[in-house]
Amino acid sequence: MIRLLFLVGLLVVMLAPPATAHDVKAGADLRIAQTIAGAELTLVIKATTRVPGPLRVEVIGFPSAPTLDLRLRSVTDGRVVTGTVSPGRPAQLRVEETGPHELTVGAGGESAVIPFRVLVDRGSGWEFLIYGGLFVAGLLLVGGLLTGAFNRRGRSAFVVTAVAAAGLAVAALIVILDPWLPAGSPAGAEPRPTDSVLGRPYVQRVVTTVPAGPAVGEEFVTRVELFDGSTGRPVDDLTIHHEAMAHLVVTSEDGRYFRHVHPLRTAPGRLEVRLRADRPGRYLTYVELERTDSGGQLLTGSFTVTGSPTVSPDPAIQDAAAGTVTVTPAAPQAGRAATVEVATTGTPRPWLGMAGHLIVRGADGEFLGHVHEMGTPGNRLRFTFSFPAPGRYLAWAQYATDRGITTVPFTVEVPR
């Protein structure tokens, strides 16, 4: 009997609680990277515990952020509250109910509309068994004591004690099993079919610039329009993926220009970011995103910049200083894991949920890879990366410190 109990206990411990990736949990902050007014920042919508109540919004700048104008609208009843937020000065916006909301963020003539849901945990729903069990046990314990005191015959006292013990056992069992029991959906959650395991259709994209064919040195808007591959309707169900609605990598064909930015949602299915190019030619764009209940997707595109190169090249795209990057083995084999170590200047702090990012592009632009650091021994970032085929690769390691985001560009040759 003891062996059986031990076996059951072991099984319970071994069965991990069911994990659902990218589920917005009540009680968890929502972190969204945005590139706005020339700044790279992360907006933090703090978890709410009660509604009506205040919703706290913070901003972290890499390295700085402008004051952002906030406008929070409840989709359910149209109620609007406004405020401002800057680093170290959080906003408190009053929310009246759970459910869908839109947060409009504005600065420097740009604005983004971020759809999200205000969720409040309702508990697992099994509490009634815990409290019920304890209540019954307590009641019967008192009853048992009274019965024992006034009744000489022990049998009814035994029954009462047994029921009390059963109540205690149920309460204790629920407490122990709680992480494995299905949690009730939080108040304000989107009603979803539970059997939607197939995912949603792939996204088709159109990348354009405003104006079309921008000139070197002139600010322009890169616009990404997302359409559902099946219906052709705008895709507006992006989930937060690595702390952003979408990650946009823009590189010149020669790789001397590199930007990793987080475009603003200016309309349903439309993402925009302002850029300035420093050389003419073809630019390649890569969008990393994830639809609700679907996997991650990588979408590619391109645009052309006209004019002649600017006099001073971009300081962010100089080659890495000797000794900054170590690739092991020095001549990596195609399809085999290689280790890339990058010496950092300053202590990295989390950006997009990680200490470091490595983006690798094939010389012809046909391939783009993105991995995260695998442990940071001291002021070094360590990545594991498998180059898919022989050839020349352009790579950029990125990390954030108090001084902002550092990009370390380097090239890797994978021999035949």
| Binding positions for Cu ion, rule: CB under 5 A | 247
Distance CA 408, CA 283 (A): 20
Smallest separation, CB 327 to Cu ion (Å): 23
Q: Which segments of 121-259 does DSSP mark as H helices, in order?
A: 127-150, 155-177
How many Å from the N-terminal Cα to the C-terminal Cα in the chain? Answer: 63
For Cu ion, the closer CB: 74 or 297: 297
Distance CA 168, CA 162 (A): 10
For Cu ion, the closer CB: 223 or 247: 247
Smallest separation, CB 398 to Cu ion (Å): 9
- Is the sign of the CA dihedral 148, 154, 159, 161 positive or negative? positive
Residues contacting 11, CB < 8 A, separation 6+:
none
Q: State the amino acid at position 316 in one-letter form.
A: A
Residues contacting 55, CB < 8 A, separation 6+:
45, 46, 48, 72, 92, 93, 94, 95, 118
For Cu ion, the closer CB: 118 or 373: 373
In the bound state, the residue with its beta carbon closest to Cu ion is: 247
Q: Residue 44: phi, psi to the nearest 5?
A: -120, 115
For Cu ion, the closer CB: 247 or 274: 247
Q: Residue 364: phi, psi to the nearest 5?
A: -85, -5
- Is the sign of the CA dihedral 84, 90, 93, 94 positive or negative? negative
Smallest separation, CB 48 to Cu ion (Å): 26
Distance CA 121, CA 48 (A): 9
For Cu ion, the closer CB: 42 or 48: 42
SS3 356: coil
Beta bridge partners of 328: 339
Q: Residue 178: phi, psi to the nearest 5?
A: -45, -45
Smallest separation, CB 249 to Cu ion (Å): 8
For Cu ion, the closer CB: 73 or 372: 372
Smallest separation, CB 217 to Cu ion (Å): 25
For Cu ion, the closer CB: 279 or 370: 370
Smallest separation, CB 259 to Cu ion (Å): 10
Distance CA 329, CA 326 (A): 9
For Cu ion, the closer CB: 247 or 361: 247
Residue reference for tokens 């099946």? 230
SS3 288: strand
For Cu ion, the closer CB: 85 or 249: 249
For Cu ion, the closer CB: 42 or 98: 42
Smallest separation, CB 248 to Cu ion (Å): 8
Smallest separation, CB 237 to Cu ion (Å): 19
Smallest separation, CB 352 to Cu ion (Å): 5
Smallest separation, CB 197 to Cu ion (Å): 27
- CA 356 to each of CA 60, 97, 388: distance values in angstroms, whole numbers, following the listed order: 17, 38, 21
- CA 118 to each of CA 48, 58, 108, 175, 190: distance values in angstroms, whole numbers, following the listed order: 7, 16, 27, 28, 10
